[in-house]
């Protein structure tokens, strides 16, 4: 008997928890500031309506449909949608992607635990310059030799254990309980920080124009000329894609624990809106306005371009060090990011757990132990070869490229192969909200076209140069090639398991 969600709010918060991650607080504000400010919200909302929300409903519907047949992961669900021998192998991406993301994401998540501890002990206060804070981060990451790396590894072990302890306890006792506690705490801490940010005023008396309201203006004042740039539209579509956790396979698995008559339209929309609340209202009101108030216009521009890691682990602790009760707010900041990371990382494990327990009929606990052993070994590569660019390479393939590929495959399979009429009926089973009729056209034509467009752009702009190792320092090339061989091996191993699972379930003729 498969597990089920015990409350509607439980699955909504679990899906919202999966979607709300570090990107809501670190990636979105820097993307908005760099791509037209307030004007960025025009392509952002258009992408949300035409790409994000339809894909969200598709994943919920695909997952619930698969769950009726006792499947909780993409491979055999895709096989139900398309009776073709290759369908299940496309679904293998839905297990490979989350696990590959998990093996580096968990390490970043563990930095947050470490920085929570450093906030409480006041260690972060000792680094008064950006260079000092960056050097501290690099020593913590193990770039160069330092005893700090031992702490980093210890915190990794703790974080790893916490993740698997949650997933080991199952759907009700683990995931649902965690998300119903963690999400409200996350929102509460974020609101406290936003209130503090909005009352910061002008912290530098020498620069009264460096204030929080001009900081909000830096983020929200629209630059309409940006709308003429295709890069801005692509950035908005990419942000929507990443922020909603679509194209990973996680929502499919979570929705597979629903019953056929359970609503997915309202639940999907609620999870999406909670994610947008965390991103556009809370996430946008912290980093960039604060950076403007402390470093001015040029400094905020530099921060926006510096990337998520620098914003989270260098700029923010530096700012908190210069605020009254700064270490308390630094703790709240890193703890809320940790909760955002934790609710996302546990969701990344669930497709593999569901695959092993549903298709090989082994207990959930045994599946969790097997996955823990495998991922523990795999995690060592991004940890020990971080400086060699291993993490960035896995992030590109598993966390960007295959996300769009998987999103496109599931969309085409559900809408075009399974059929739009059946798909539309499937979405509306038990619906407590009727999707406007024009969405039938959007789901059938606009969303797949949008995805093909994004994939084509990325393929030529990023995938080809990345594949050809352009810009990779010569000394890192062997490590990057080894990473790709490893990823390919991992994918091949999952394909073998998928084939075996198929034979067990359907007794494929040889």
Partner 1 sequence: MSWSGWIFLILSWGLILGVVIFCVVRALKEPYKDL
User: Is residue 250 within the footprint of partner 1 (CB under 8 A)?
Assistant: no
- Residue 51 CB, shortest distance to partner 1, in Å, is 17
CB-based contacts of 269: which residues, under 8 Å, 6+ apart?
A: 53, 56, 433
Let me know if 155 is exposed, middle or buried by CB neighbors in 10 A (0-12, 13-18, 19+): buried
Residue-level length of the chain: 510
Binding characters for partner 1, 204-243, by CB under 8 A (x = yes)? ---------xx-xx--xxx---------------------
Query: Which residue blocks in 360-437 are alpha helix, DSSP H?
Result: 364-384, 390-396, 402-412, 420-428
Query: Tokens standing for 348?
Result: 């990344």
CB nearer partner 1, residue 293 or residue 318: 293
CB-based contacts of 180: which residues, under 8 Å, 6+ apart?
A: 7, 9, 10, 13
User: Is residue 185 within the footprint of partner 1 (CB under 8 A)?
Assistant: no
Q: Which stretch binds partner 1 (CB under 8 A): 66-74, 257-265, 377-385, 473-481?
A: 257-265
User: Is residue 41 within the footprint of partner 1 (CB under 8 A)?
Assistant: yes
Out of 190, 246, 258, 304, the only residue in the binding site for partner 1 (CB under 8 A) is 258
DSSP character string of 18-71: HH-SHHHHTHHHHHHHHTTGGGGHHHHHHHIIIIIHHHHHHHHHHHHHHHHTT-
User: Is residue 177 within the footprint of partner 1 (CB under 8 A)?
Assistant: no
Out of 171, 246, 250, 274, the only residue in the binding site for partner 1 (CB under 8 A) is 274
CB nearer partner 1, residue 20 or residue 404: 20
Q: Which stretch binds partner 1 (CB under 8 A): 2-10, 138-146, 309-317, 376-384?
A: 2-10
Q: Which stretch binds partner 1 (CB under 8 A): 1-9, 374-382, 451-459, 494-502?
A: 1-9
User: Is residue 163 within the footprint of partner 1 (CB under 8 A)?
Assistant: no
> Three-state secondary structure along 164-213?
HHHHHCHHHHHHHHHHHHHHHHHHHHHHHHHHHHHCCCCCCCCCCCCCHH
User: Is residue 479 within the footprint of partner 1 (CB under 8 A)?
Assistant: no
Out of 2, 38, 191, 376, the only residue in the binding site for partner 1 (CB under 8 A) is 38
CB nearer partner 1, residue 66 or residue 215: 215
CB nearer partner 1, residue 48 or residue 162: 48
What distance in Å separates the CA atoms of residue 71 and residue 68, rounded to the nearest whole number? 7
Which 8-state DSSP code applies to residue 228? Answer: G
> Three-state secondary structure along 205-225?
CCCCCCCHHHHHHHHHCCCHH
Q: Which stretch binds partner 1 (CB under 8 A): 36-44, 134-142, 317-325, 358-366?
A: 36-44
For tokens 């009101």, the residue is: 285
Query: Tokens standing for 469?
Result: 């190792």
Do 152 and 114 meet the contact criterion of CB atoms below 8 Å apart? yes
Residue 353 CB neighbour total at 10 angstroms:
24
Phi, psi of 256 (to 5 degrees): -70, -15
User: Is residue 37 within the footprint of partner 1 (CB under 8 A)?
Assistant: yes
Binding characters for partner 1, 6-25, by CB under 8 A (x = yes)? xxxx--x-------------
Residue 22 CB neighbour total at 10 angstroms:
21
Do 354 and 72 meet the contact criterion of CB atoms below 8 Å apart? yes
- Residue 8 CB, shortest distance to partner 1, in Å, is 5
User: Is residue 158 within the footprint of partner 1 (CB under 8 A)?
Assistant: no
Binding characters for partner 1, 431-470, by CB under 8 A (x = yes)? -xx-------------------------------------
CB nearer partner 1, residue 281 or residue 481: 281
Query: Tokens standing for 141?
Result: 């990451």
The site for partner 1 (CB under 8 A) is made up of 4-9, 12, 37-39, 41, 45, 213-214, 216-217, 220-222, 258-259, 261-263, 266-267, 269-270, 273-274, 276-277, 280-281, 430, 432-433
């Amino acid at each position: 008997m498969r597990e089920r969600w015990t409350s509607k709010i439980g699955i909504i918060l679990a899906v919202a928890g999966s979607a709300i991650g570090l990107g809501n607080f670190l990636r979105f504000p820097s993307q908005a500031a760099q791509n037209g400010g307030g004007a960025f919200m025009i392509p952002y909302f258009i992408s949300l309506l035409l790409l994000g929300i339809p894909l969200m409903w598709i994943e919920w519907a695909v997952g619930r449909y698969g769950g009726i047949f006792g499947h909780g992961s993409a491979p055999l669900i895709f096989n139900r949608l398309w009776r073709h021998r290759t369908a299940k192998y496309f679904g293998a991406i839905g297990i490979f992607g989350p696990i590959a993301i998990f093996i580096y994401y968990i390490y970043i998540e563990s930095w947050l635990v470490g920085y929570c501890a450093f906030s409480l002990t006041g260690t972060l206060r000792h680094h008064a310059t950006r260079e000092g804070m960056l050097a501290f981060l690099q020593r913590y990451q193990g770039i160069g030799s330092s005893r700090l790396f031992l702490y980093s590894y210890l915190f990794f072990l703790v974080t790893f254990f916490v993740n698997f302890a949650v997933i080991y306890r199952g759907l009700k006792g683990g995931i649902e309980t965690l998300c119903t506690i963690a999400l409200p705490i996350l929102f509460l801490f974020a609101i406290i920080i936003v209130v503090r940010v909005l009352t910061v005023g002008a912290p530098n008396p020498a620069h009264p124009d460096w204030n929080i309201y001009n900081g909000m203006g830096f983020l929200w004042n629209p630059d309409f000329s940006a709308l003429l740039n295709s890069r801005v539209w692509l950035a908005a579509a990419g942000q929507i894609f990443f922020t909603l956790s679509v194209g990973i396979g996680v929502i499919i698995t979570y929705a597979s624990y629903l019953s056929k008559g359970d609503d997915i339209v309202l639940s999907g929309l609620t999870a999406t809106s909670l994610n947008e609340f965390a991103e556009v209202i809370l996430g946008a009101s912290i980093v960039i306005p604060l950076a403007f108030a402390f470093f001015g216009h040029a400094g905020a521009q530099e921060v926006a371009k510096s990337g998520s890691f620098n914003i989270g682990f260098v700029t923010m602790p530096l700012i908190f060090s210069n605020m009254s009760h700064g270490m308390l707010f630094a703790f709240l900041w890193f703890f809320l990011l940790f909760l955002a990371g934790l609710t996302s990382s546990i969701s990344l494990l669930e497709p593999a757990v569901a695959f092993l327990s549903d298709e090989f009929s082994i207990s959930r606990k045994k599946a969790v132990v097997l996955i823990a052993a495998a991922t523990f070994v795999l995690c060592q590569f991004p940890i020990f070869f971080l400086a060699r660019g291993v993490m960035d390479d896995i992030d590109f393939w598993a966390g960007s490229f295959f996300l769009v590929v998987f999103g496109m495959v599931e969309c085409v399979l559900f809408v075009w192969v399974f059929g739009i009429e059946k798909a539309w009926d499937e979405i509306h089973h038990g619906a407590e909200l009727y999707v406007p009729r024009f969405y039938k056209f959007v789901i059938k034509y606009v969303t797949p076209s949008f995805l093909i467009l994004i994939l084509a752009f990325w393929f030529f702009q990023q995938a080809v140069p990345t594949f050809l190792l352009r810009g990779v320092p010569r000394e890192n090339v062997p490590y990057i090639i080894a990473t790709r061989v490893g990823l390919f091996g991992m994918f091949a191993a999952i394909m073998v398991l998928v084939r075996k699972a198929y034979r067990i379930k359907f007794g494929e003729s040889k």
